[in-house]
Amino acid sequence: MRTAGSRTRSSDNSRRRFVRVSECDSSTAQLLHGCPVVTPEGSRIGHVDHLMVDAETHQLRYVMLARGRRHGAEVAIPWHALYFDAAAGRLVFYTWV
């Protein structure tokens, strides 16, 4: 029931742009969960905590890194800025300067 002056939420405002995907939600997330993330030189940045998927297209957009061992700060890295080094079993974060 609506009262005078009340507003309903627009469906566009209530939609989330990104959805969190944890290791129990997908096989890709299972594969990447805990995977180390390093710089091209091999310095450790952190490890994969969870993934963020575009809610409309269902495409992987961000990898969320845990930086500390316990409750460390989370960092979002765009998926397109990473590549999987299968030989070493890690993700490499690369940037161009």
78, 92 contact by CB (below 8 A): no
Which residues, in sequence order, are bridge partners of residue 47?
A: 36, 66
Which has the minimum average pLDDT: 3-7, 18-22, 34-38?
Answer: 3-7
Residue 70 counted as domain residue: yes
Which long-range contacts (C-beta less than 8 Å, at least 24 apart) are formed by 17-20? 17/54, 17/55, 18/52, 18/53, 18/54, 18/55, 18/61, 18/62, 19/52, 19/53, 19/54, 19/55, 20/50, 20/51, 20/52, 20/64
Number of domains in the chain: 1
Residue 2 counted as domain residue: no
The domain in which residue 24 lies consists of 16-93
The alpha carbon of 5 is separated from its chain's Cα centroid by a whole number of angstroms, namely 39
Residue 34 counted as domain residue: yes
pLDDT digits (tens, 9 = 90+) for 25-37: 788 888 899 999 9
Residue 8 counted as domain residue: no
Residue 89 counted as domain residue: yes
Instruction: Look up the pTM and report it.
Output: 0.74
Residue 3 counted as domain residue: no
Q: Residue 22: which CATH number?
A: 2.30.30.240
Residue 6 counted as domain residue: no
